[in-house]
Amino acid sequence: MPTPFVNEPINSDWTSEARQKSMREGFAKVRARAKETRPLRVGNELDTDGPTIESLNPCNHSEVLGSVIKATREIASRAVEHAHDVFINRWRKTDVGMRARILMRAAGLMRSKYRDEFNAYLVLEAGKSWTEADADTAEAIDFCEFYAREALKLQGEPQPLTPLPGEDNNQYFIPLGVVSVIPPWNFPLAIMAGMTVAALVTGNTVVMKPASVTPLVAARFVELLEEAGLPRGVLQFVPGSGGEVGNVIVEHPLTRMVAFTGSKEVGLGIAEKCGKVVSGQVWIKRTILEMGGKDAILVDEGSNYDDAAAGIVAAAFGFQGQKCSACSRAILVGDAYKHVVPKVVELAGQIKLGPTEDPTNFMGAVIDKSAQDSILKYIAIGTREGKLLLGGKDGDKAGYYVQPTIFGEVNPDARIHCEEIFGPVLALLRAYTFEQGLDIVNSTEYGLTGAVYSNKAEHLELARRDFHVGNLYLNRKCTGALVGSQPFGGFNMSGTDSKAGGKEYLLLFTQAKLVSEKTSW
Q: How far apart are CA 423 and CA 426, in angstroms?
A: 9
For residue 235, give Cα distances in angstroms to 82, 204, 228: 10, 9, 13
* Residue type for position 109: L
- Phi and psi torsions of 212, nearest 5°: -70, -20
Q: Beta strand pairing status for 45-47 and 405-408?
A: unpaired
Q: Beta strand pairing status for 60-69 and 52-57?
A: antiparallel
Q: How far apart are CA 39 and CA 405, in angstroms?
A: 40
Please give the span between the terminal C-alpha atoms of the chain, in angstroms, as a whole number: 32
Rounded mean pLDDT of the chain?
97
Question: In the CATH scheme, what is the code of domain 295-481?
Answer: 3.40.309.10
pLDDT at 394: 96
pLDDT at 520: 80
- The pLDDT tens digits for 123-176 are 999 999 999 999 999 999 999 999 999 999 999 999 999 999 999 999 999 999
Cα angle for residues 50, 53, 57 (degrees, 5° grid):
155
pLDDT at 139: 98
Full DSSP string of 238-265 = ----IIIIIHHHHH-TTEEEEEEES-HH
User: What are the boundaries of each domain within the chain?
Assistant: 18-291+498-514, 295-481
pLDDT at 147: 98
| Of 345, 406, 367, residue with least CA distance to 262 | 367
Cα angle for residues 177, 40, 365 (degrees, 5° grid):
100
- The pLDDT tens digits for 298-346 are 999 999 999 999 999 999 999 999 999 999 999 999 999 999 999 999 9
pLDDT at 296: 98
**Axis crossing angle, helix 190-201 with helix 96-112, rounded to the nearest 10:** 160
CATH 3.20.20.70 holds for 18-291+498-514? no
Strands, DSSP E only, in 334-371? Answer: none
Residues of the chain with pLDDT under 70: 521
Catalytic positions are 290, 324
Q: Is 295-481 the same fold as 18-291+498-514?
A: no
Q: How far apart are CA 140 and CA 153, in angstroms?
A: 20
pLDDT at 326: 98
Helix, coil or strand: residue 180: strand
